[in-house]
């Protein structure tokens, strides 16, 4: 999956591929633009000034070779910046097809790309969405059905 730089900024805030949380609480974050994005609010962790989060992204492109991506993200709550640490490409069932660490890059959170909403949720406890999914594969299946339907 190729992610344009502008989309990567939005992606940076949405994910973590580390150990799975005991309980997942996936919430729809964005459903327009080139990707659909959900955030696992149960994955929020770290000290109040530096939070990590897991997200899932499904490309709107029909020819994408991966069902979805999981991205590990760090939010600097004080500086209001985000950075992606790692990414994994998954199949429909959630099996890892490819994973990699990402080079350190930070970007400011912003309203236009949706990263500010995730930063508010991770750093301030703000609510994201009431649209819930039991898992990342469930979100991916929903997004892929929406894409093809």
Summarize pLDDT for 87-106 with one digit per residue, the tens.
Answer: 999 988 889 999 999 988 99
| Residue boundaries of the structural domains of the chain | 5-148
State the pLDDT at residue 59.
Answer: 85
For the segment 17-54, what is each residue's pLDDT rounded down to a tens digit? 334 436 899 999 877 677 888 999 899 999 999 999 99
| Residue 4 pLDDT > 80 | no
Q: How confident is the model at residue 2 (pLDDT cuts 50, 70, 90)?
A: very low
CA distances from 120 to 1, 33, 57, 133, 141 (A): 28, 21, 19, 20, 27
- DSSP tag of 31: -
Q: Of the candidates 55, 33, 38, 40, which has an alpha carbon nearest to the alpha carbon of residue 147?
A: 33
pLDDT at 149: 61
CATH architecture of 5-148: Beta Barrel (2.40)
Average pLDDT, the chain: 81
- The percentage of residues in the chain with a pLDDT greater than 90, rounded to a whole number, is 44
What element of type H or E holds 51? strand 50-59
Q: Are 64 and 7 in contact (CB under 8 A)?
A: no
* pTM for this predicted structure: 0.76
As a whole number, mean pLDDT of residues 44-69 equals: 87
Provide the pLDDT for residue 126. Answer: 84
């Amino acid at each position: 999956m190729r992610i344009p730089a502008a989309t990567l900024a939005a992606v940076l805030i949405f994910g973590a591929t580390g150990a799975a949380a005991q309980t997942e609480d996936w919430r729809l974050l964005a459903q327009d633009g080139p990707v659909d994005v959900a955030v696992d609010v149960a994955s929020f962790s770290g000290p109040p000034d530096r939070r990590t989060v897991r997200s899932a992204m499904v490309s709107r492109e029909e020819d994408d070779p991966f069902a979805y991506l999981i991205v590990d993200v760090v939010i600097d709550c004080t500086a209001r910046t985000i950075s992606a640490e790692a990414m994994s490409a998954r199949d429909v069932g959630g099996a890892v097809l490819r994973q990699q660490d990402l080079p350190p890059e930070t970007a400011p959170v912003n309203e236009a790309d949706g990263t500010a909403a995730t930063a508010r949720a991770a750093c301030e406890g703000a609510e994201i969405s009431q649209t819930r999914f039991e898992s990342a594969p469930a979100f991916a299946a929903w997004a892929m059905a929406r894409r093809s339907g």
